[in-house]
Chains A and B, each alone.
Chain A
């Protein structure tokens, strides 16, 4: 039997955590430098933007995995028939939320990259620095959009971590899966606090 679908789904699950989940965590932590002032953030941002081989790091650790995860993910989202109305169990609600947040994140991330990294790439901005973000988040609608974006991203990662552990057969029993639900809830809360604190530091 052809097991292409099996491999594609496993790859989708893996890439969501490694490298995308790790990248998101790193990104939110670096953003958190904003709470220590303009200079601290600019230094951190400058360091990240000038890593050796940065273009290769970006392509292989960020762009390619995220594009595969996004496009295959949209396909997955649109091949399910959501039914949390009649079957309103926690896992089914989270299953539905995972797909809605995923589709939203494709839009949010595309916009976010266009506004920041892409503007640097085409020469409209010298560097993605504190002022760039402060200008964007000056608009209260944009701030709200970014807060929703960060929350959906941290939710999608935390819930995705739970299903990653099931998909690879790491958590099997009902109890193991329940404890992982608590653990991933903690991951969601911690990453959300870090992300939101960073966003508010630009305002």
Chain B
């Protein structure tokens, strides 16, 4: 690393609260080997002085696991949504521009409120109902190869990157996005979950559901866990095609 590598410049889109206007603030930090965006944010928190040498408020951001499995630290880094814990400064073009994922309501600075994703999971019934007043016994077995395949879908951490990247998830549309749709496929693949598959299919055939997908496929390109989101969407398209006819004509195969 040459002379230029001795400091790192960050350009952060800040905002004091949800209703306030946003503004950019620049920070220059000493370079350390192998630093990532979060370690840089921690450095700013330790010494909240901006590039003009003025003392400012520490930048707020969300984080938890620091190893790309919780999804909390997602933000827009140099224009692309991703996790800040695995965004290595050495691999980023400077100045490094940090922005909140504005598809979601911004709480403060880089902190967003991803509640809508959890509401969507409720809306599409992304769970396997097994609770009852008596022991229902063991469920049907799942083939091992199917379990391995389904495990990939279960890696979703509700980080919100696929929603941020999606051109159809915005303030003009109520599209729920790829993540909850793929969860429907996961729950419908489960042998016990499949007992309620028509309920989930009907849920994603509602407003803001599957039909709002425009196949831009940004979700699958952006997903940090490499979940085959567009394959899930296409598979659900096929299942809802059948469900649509079942709903219309009636069927002996309700489930």
Measured CB to CB, the nearest residue on chain B to A85 is: B79
Contact B231 A3, beta carbon cutoff 8 Å: no
Contact B241 A174, beta carbon cutoff 8 Å: no
A88: shortest Cβ distance to chain B, in Å? Answer: 10
Tell me the count of chain A residues lying within 8 A, CB to CB, of chain B.
37
| Interface 9-mer from B27-35, B126-134, B198-206 | B198-206
Contact B239 A87, beta carbon cutoff 8 Å: no
Q: Which residues of A lie under 8 Å from residue B238 when comparing CB positions?
A: 168-170, 172
Known: A166-B237, A169-B237. A6 touches B244 (CB 8 A): yes
Q: Mark B203-214, 1 if CB is under 8 A from A, else 0.
A: 101111111101
Known: A9-B211, A91-B216. A177 touches B205 (CB 8 A): no
Tell me the count of chain B residues lying within 8 A, CB to CB, of chain A.
38
Known: A95-B167, A169-B234. A83 touches B218 (CB 8 A): yes
Q: Mark B41-59, 1 if CB is under 8 A from A, else 0.
A: 0000000000000000000
Residues 215-232 of B at the A interface (beta carbon under 8 Å): 215-218, 221-222, 228, 230-231
Contact A177 B234, beta carbon cutoff 8 Å: yes
Residues 68-123 of B at the A interface (beta carbon under 8 Å): 79-80
Q: Contacting B231 at CB < 8 Å: which of A91, A168, A174? A: A174
Q: Which residues of A lie under 8 Å from residue B244 when comparing CB positions?
A: 3, 6-7, 10
B167: shortest Cβ distance to chain A, in Å? Answer: 5
B65: shortest Cβ distance to chain A, in Å? Answer: 25
Q: Is A35 an interface position by the 8 A CB rule? A: no
Q: Is B170 an interface position by the 8 A CB rule? A: yes
B218: shortest Cβ distance to chain A, in Å? Answer: 5
B186: shortest Cβ distance to chain A, in Å? Answer: 16
Q: Is B18 an interface position by the 8 A CB rule? A: no
A5: shortest Cβ distance to chain B, in Å? Answer: 6
A136: shortest Cβ distance to chain B, in Å? Answer: 35
Q: Is A89 an interface position by the 8 A CB rule? A: yes
Known: A86-B80, A91-B216. A3 touches B168 (CB 8 A): no
Q: Is B240 an interface position by the 8 A CB rule? A: yes
Q: Contacting B165 at CB < 8 Å: which of A4, A87, A166? A: A87
Q: Is B173 an interface position by the 8 A CB rule? A: yes
Contact B235 A89, beta carbon cutoff 8 Å: no
Contact B228 A174, beta carbon cutoff 8 Å: yes
B201: shortest Cβ distance to chain A, in Å? Answer: 10
A156: shortest Cβ distance to chain B, in Å? Answer: 14
Contact B202 A3, beta carbon cutoff 8 Å: yes
Q: Which residues of B lie under 8 Å from residue A91 when comparing CB positions?
A: 215-218, 221
- In Å, the complex CA distance between A76 and B216 comes to 13
Q: Contacting A80 at CB < 8 Å: which of B214, B231, B235? A: B214
Q: Which residues of B lie under 8 Å from residue A170 when comparing CB positions?
A: 238
B196: shortest Cβ distance to chain A, in Å? Answer: 15
Q: Mark A152-170, 1 if CB is under 8 A from B, else 0.
A: 0000000000110011111
Known: A81-B172, A169-B234. A2 touches B206 (CB 8 A): yes
Q: Is A139 an interface position by the 8 A CB rule? A: no
- In Å, the complex CA distance between A163 and B216 comes to 10
- In Å, the complex CA distance between A75 and B196 comes to 34
Q: Mark A69-103, 1 if CB is under 8 A from B, else 0.
A: 00000001011111101110101100110000000
Measured CB to CB, the nearest residue on chain A to B202 is: A1
- Which residues in B have some Cβ–Cβ distance to A below 8 Å? 79-80, 165, 167-168, 170, 172-173, 202-203, 205-212, 214-218, 221-222, 228, 230-231, 233-241, 244
Q: Which 3 pairs of residues, A with B, have the shortest CB-CB distance?
A: A169-B238, A1-B206, A95-B216
Apart from A6-B206, A169-B235, A173-B231, list 5 A-B contacts with CB within 8 A. A5-B212, A82-B167, A83-B167, A168-B238, A172-B238
- Which residues in A have some Cβ–Cβ distance to B below 8 Å? 1-10, 76, 78-83, 85-87, 89, 91-92, 95-96, 162-163, 166-174, 177
**18 contacting pairs across A/B (C-beta < 8 A):** A1-B203, A5-B211, A5-B212, A6-B240, A6-B244, A7-B244, A9-B212, A83-B165, A83-B167, A86-B79, A87-B222, A89-B218, A91-B216, A92-B218, A166-B233, A166-B234, A170-B238, A177-B230
